[in-house]
Structure 1
Amino acid sequence: MKYFIAVVEAHSFTEASYALEISQSAVSQQIKALEDDLGVPLLVRQNRTFSLTPAGEYFYRHGKELLQEIDAFQKETRRLGEDQELQLRLGYLNNYCGSELYETIAAFSAQYPEVTIHIFNGTHEDLYEQLRSKKADIVLNDQRRAFSDTYENDILATGVLYAEISLQNPLSRQNHLSLEGLRRIPCILVASAEQEQAEEAYYTDTLGFAENFLFARTLEDARLLVASNRGYLPLETFNATTPAGTASVRLPLYKDGKPLLRHYCLFWRKDNSTYYVEEFANLLHKRIQPQDSHYRRTDDVEKNQKIPKKQ
């Protein structure tokens, strides 16, 4: 079937043999064997040219469709055979607080029940290392370094960095929190013991936080510290939804009178850009919607702030 279609599209046995990288006599033999098997002629040969019989027209038209279906069938069979277990290894920031990721995971699982999702969280550096060492397929992370050509750098959104603070603190009654006004209040960070130094350096040297930190191992522990008025907790989130209960409030963080902006991205290795990875990214994009004036899509922010593609 493949040889016959090649001959018809090349309008020549010779050209078809070049395209198929086999001899012309082999092509002719295969076409004759096909006609013998079907019991009807497909071509009317006239010296060095030929025309299609009605049966040949039919066979060409539908045969081409069948070959496309067979090709897709083979690729899917091969993909299933190569994957011992269909899985998606997903990492996210350990101070991420929002419903979009959870909703995307639920939607993905419902649409692709054959895929097992392995989920973990960590600091920016934890996630980067997992991706670099190929222990993660895709991670939801903030942007702290120049984009690399090794990875797909999928910018989800740019928005204000939020923080939770206890309602016992007078600053909770303001419209926003300023780094200048928070200098004497401990900043609570979620990090492992190994990542404490790296997180502290980033928040002080890059973002301009005061050197006044408390560390928690989990987000739940950090929020308990906030509830007891031990400090404030920066959060990675796409919206300003007030946390459940009455212990704390979530407010945008400002620096020098301006919102402290963050770029949120999905990262995955280009050499691991599978269908499931890209489909998960598409589903998450659909669930991120502007919630208030402090949150904007990346393309809106770029009008006022250039996001570096290379540094």
Structure 2
Amino acid sequence: MLLNQLKYFVAVVENNSFTEAASRLYVSQSAVSQQIQVLEETLGVVLLTRQHRRFQLTPAGNHFYQRSKMILAQVDEMTKETITIGTNEEVELKIGYLRVYGGQELHEAITQFSEIYPEITLSVINGTHEELYHEIINDRVDIILSDQRRAFSDECVNFELVKSPMYVEISKRHPLSETNILTLKMLENTPCILIAANEQKAVEEEYYKNTLGFSGHFIFAENLEAGRLLVAANQGFLPIESVGTLAPVTSRVKRLPLYRTEQPIIRNYCAFWMKRTANYYIEEFALILQKLLQKDATL
């Protein structure tokens, strides 16, 4: 089976015409018809049922069409990547992650990926969910690790990594640190520390208040380290993105699971990338990270 036969078949289906497909491919109509006939003979099945100048896909033909599109896309992607590597053009993978993320698996995924693909340059940024969202839709990063806050977009690959319970960090000087779990109701009189830049404060507060159900007073820190310093000073509690294995807290801080009422708050964490910029390296990195996160989630 030749690659051209797949191209001809896909072109005929997508143009709904042998004549139009031949025109798009810059070949004769007879060449297209002949190659599809050879293809059907090779497979031993009918792909198209012809009636005068019209045709319909058989179930086998529809399956072959869908798979052919995937194969052609993969071949095109592989060709571009091979040319890039062969011409020594630098390939960069730009990764974005949540500013409040403190797990270890992202670092391990970066290490593993770099060992497998040393020719790829990696760059990493962090931000809030909204900051990362704008980075990815404007093609300033290739892949982001973030929580799911909006409906999945058809323009993105929405690659689910892991579902994890939510935690908060609170000073051991706070009376609530003596409990085994914390609920939103228990925390309503304690300031909630959020990590966000000035321009993102209102968005983060709105999400935690109206979507997750947090209440009371909010205070802000620029980064995770600054937020944890506020916790150590007993200025409030800090919600933590528990994606994977978290580093131990200090002796003056306690990390506790957060419940809405009787059930833990569960967050869905995903890797997102735009379909228009998808490539093999993005998918490989996402798979490495997913494997690490799901492995630790089962321990």
Give the match for residue 172 of structure 1.
177
Deviation per CA, 1:50-69: give whole Å up to 9, x if none.
xxxxxxxxxxxxxxxxxxxx
Label 1:160 to 1:73 Cα distance change in 2 as closer, same or farther (>3 A): closer
Give the match for residue 211 of structure 2.
206
Give the match for residue 154 of structure 1.
159
Superposed counterparts of 1:68-79, under 5 Å: 76-79=81-84
Give the match for residue 106 of structure 2.
101
Give the match for residue 196 of structure 1.
201
- Selected match of 2:248 from 238, 243, 267: 243
* Alpha-carbon contact 2:77-2:279 (below 8 Å) kept: no
* Alpha-carbon contact 1:240-1:250 (below 8 Å) kept: no
Label 1:82 to 1:193 Cα distance change in 2 as closer, same or farther (>3 A): farther
Other structure's SS at 2:242 match: coil
Give the match for residue 138 of structure 2.
133
Superposed counterparts of 1:211-226, under 5 Å: 211-226=216-231
Deviation per CA, 1:151-184: give whole Å up to 9, x if none.
0001111121111111111211211111100011
Deviation per CA, 1:77-126: give whole Å up to 9, x if none.
42336884210110001101110111101111111111111101111100
Q: Distance in 1 between matches of 2:81 and 2:278?
A: 16
Give the match for residue 94 of structure 2.
89
Give the match for residue 50 of structure 1.
none
Question: Are residues 1:273 and 2:290 paired?
Answer: no
Shift of 1:269: 0.3
Give the match for residue 38 of structure 2.
none
Unaligned runs of 5+ in 1: 7-17, 25-70, 298-311
Other structure's SS at 2:294 match: coil
Give the match for residue 129 of structure 2.
124
Q: TM-score by structure 2 length?
A: 0.71
Give the match for residue 13 of structure 1.
none
* Alpha-carbon contact 2:84-2:91 (below 8 Å) kept: no
Give the match for residue 145 of structure 1.
150
- Selected match of 1:181 from 175, 181, 186: 186
Q: How many residues align?
A: 235
* Alpha-carbon contact 2:105-2:245 (below 8 Å) kept: no
Q: Distance in 1 between matches of 2:91 and 2:81?
A: 13
One-letter amino acid matched to 1:126: E
Shift of 1:211: 3.4
Give the match for residue 50 of structure 2.
none
- Alignment root-mean-square deviation, CA: 3.0
Shift of 1:283: 0.4
Give the match for residue 262 of structure 1.
267
Q: Distance in 1 between matches of 2:274 and 2:80?
A: 22
Identity of aligned residues (%): 45
One-letter amino acid matched to 2:194: L
Q: Distance in 2 between matches of 1:259 and 1:73?
A: 44
